[in-house]
Structure 1
Amino acid sequence: MAGRVAIVTGVSRRAGIGFAVAGELLAAGASVLVHSWSPHDAEQPWGADPAGAAGIVDLLGGEGPRLRHLAADFADPRAPGLVVAAAVAAFGAVDVVVANHARSSGQSLAEVTAAELDLCWAVNARASVLLAQAFAAAHDDARSGGRIILFTSGQHLAPMSREIPYAVSKGAIHQMTLTLSDALADRGITVNTINPGPVDTGWADPDLTARVGRALPAGRWGRPADVARLVRWLASGDSQWITGQVIDAEGGFRRWVM
């Protein structure tokens, strides 16, 4: 990854997938712009990382020649373009976008509101499309190996009736993958989506942790590092023949066991 430039969104907690992905790409030699929006985490049961955004960046090595940070709220339609522009301004180009960010929502059908549906759509689905659009506009096709890596959460494999706004918006990412890949294939830019399955990022209660653990052949949840290694491969030249795919990297998750 030496000489490559990546954007990783959703890097706001050291226990999160985004933090692991950013660290993996930096270790592989890439220059990385990390995006965060800590106010979302502060609203959730798990809370914001006590280190704060600056502390997270410091844990990755601190801002410098190969690492920059930008906080941005993807509820604002201008934010995806600003993130891509910041990467180009910092590093002169952009080769990879890892759209790891997500807005979580715990509303059931009885509880769901139009406002939450709109907000989850804006942050999870709309921002992913606008990141792809901004990346495509900024990408220099003379730099081979353009990569867009999106994230969904297995809504195509099992229902999530307690998280309807989240599930619907993440399901849209599954459906956009093939269309975006077709839009960019002739430019040598690949688009793939990862469904990482159950990953221990500190959000689950002990009961859920135990139940899901029994449904995983390895006897443990996925770790952010498991996902980060897959992202690194998809971001590299080794994945050039793979596009338009939703990859279920779930460690053999057996939902029927739960």
Structure 2
Amino acid sequence: MAAGALEGKVALVTGGSRGIGRAIAQRLGRDGAIVAVAYAREESAAGEVVADIAENGGRAFALRAELGRHGDARRLWAAFDARIGEYTGEPVVDIIVNNAGIGRSAALAELTEEDFDEVFAVNVRAPFFIVREGLGRLRDGGRIINISSGAARLAMPEIIAYGATKGALDTFTLNLAKELGPRGITANSVAPGIVDTDVNAGWLRDDPAAQAHAASLAALGRVGRPEDIADIVAFLASDDARWVTGRVIDATGGAGL
């Protein structure tokens, strides 16, 4: 992809303050997009992402967006509208990356109704209404990129609800591609496997045996890095991916082959 491939584009990245979302925001910023870095609680971390993008010649701003409650999408877009005019003069967006999500490591017998409701509210309902509320802002030829998971296609009973949310997200992606295709808008999912982020640090980084096992699950023989996922998202966001839509892009390094 050429440098500045996203120049003039506006991107919204949810969960953009850390991990995969942080890497995505930074990469889109380097490619020239104006990036809205949405975060739930970690204001200082979101500020670091904005500062990093600025230091590399890009433009970005942070948005507080706690997801999982009714009205969350409307509040997110209201905050977006209040800031984006500083850069574009009107409330528009070209790239929506639904990255924010939570996991619930509980098997069927242990999962509570409250935990089930919360994981679906953040991982499914929030992306659904973020897209719905954002359609009036999303320019023709835009991109919707949903961060799914390899857990949507692999049986993992220990995270059964999480896997179900990602399966639902993939179905949402498929239908968006069909509905929005006439406007030249593409919709795709990216499905990571095990990625070395701070969310996984407790069981992965400090345990060589866990690292070795995680690496052995991938055909490429290592644990994923946030940048691996961000680079795929950058491709899907670019004009190079204009003919790709309705797909789930496996980003597990070949797990489960």
- Do they superpose with TM above 0.5? yes
1:150 aligns with 2:146: yes
Provide the residue aligned with 2:245 in structure 1. 243
Q: Does 2:77 align with 1:77?
A: no
Q: Distance in 2 between the 1:3 and 1:53 partners?
A: 22
The answer on whether the counterparts of 1:9 and 1:98 sit within 8 Å (CA) in structure 2 is yes
Alignment-mate amino acid for residue 247 of structure 1: I
Q: Which residue in the other structure is 1:219 paired with?
A: 221
Contact 2:154 2:256 in 1 (8 A): no
Q: Distance in 1 between matches of 2:231 and 2:46?
A: 23
Indicate the SS of the match to 2:96.
strand
Aligned residue in 1 for 2:195: 199
Aligned counterpart, 2:51: 58
Task: Supply the AA of the counterpart residue of 1:7.
Answer: L
8 Å contact from structure 1 (residues 149, 194) kept in 2? yes
Q: Which moved more, 1:198-207 or 1:218-227?
A: 198-207
Q: Is the 8 A contact 2:97 2:144 kept in 1?
A: yes
In structure 2, what residue type is equivalent to 1:170? K
Q: 2:175 aligns with which of 162, 173, 179?
A: 179
Let me know the Cα RMSD of the aligned residues: 2.2
Letter in 2 for 1:166: Y
Percent identity reads: 38
1:208 to partner: Cα distance: 2.9
Q: Label 1:188 to 1:84 Cα distance change in 2 as closer, same or farther (>3 A).
A: farther
Deviations 1:99-137 (A, max 9, x none): 111011112112111111111111000111111112212
Alignment length, in residue pairs?
A: 239
Equivalent residue, structure 2, for 1:8: 13
CA shift, 1:56, in A, is: 4.1
The answer (yes or no) to whether the contact 1:88–1:94 under 8 Å persists in 2 is no
| 1:44 match | none
Q: 2:196 & 2:161 partners in 1: Cα distance?
A: 22
Once the two structures are superposed, residues 163-194 of structure 1 have per-residue CA deviations (whole angstroms, 9 ceiling, x without a partner) of 22222212211222211211211111111000
d(CA) in 2 for partners of 1:29, 1:52: 21
The superposition leaves residues 60-106 of structure 1 with CA deviations (integer Å, 9 ceiling, x where unpaired) of 438x9821111211112322233234334414310000011101111
Aligned to 1:45: none
2:171 is aligned with what amino acid?
Q
Aligned partners of 1:162 and 1:12: how far apart in 2? 27
Q: Which amino acid aligns with 1:125?
A: V
Counterpart among 149, 153, 162 of residue 158 in structure 2? 162
SS of residue paired to 2:170:
helix
Q: Could you tell me how far apart the structure 1 residues matched to 2:64 and 2:76 are? A: 9
Equivalent residue, structure 2, for 1:43? none
Instruction: Mark the CA change 1:85 to 1:188 in structure 2 (over 3 Å): closer, same or farther.
Output: farther
TM-score, normalising length: structure 2:
0.85
Give the Cα separation in 1 of the matches to 2:170 and 2:151.
Answer: 8
Name the structure 2 match of 1:29: 32
Describe the SS at the equivalent of 2:146: strand
1:19: Cα distance to partner?
Answer: 0.6
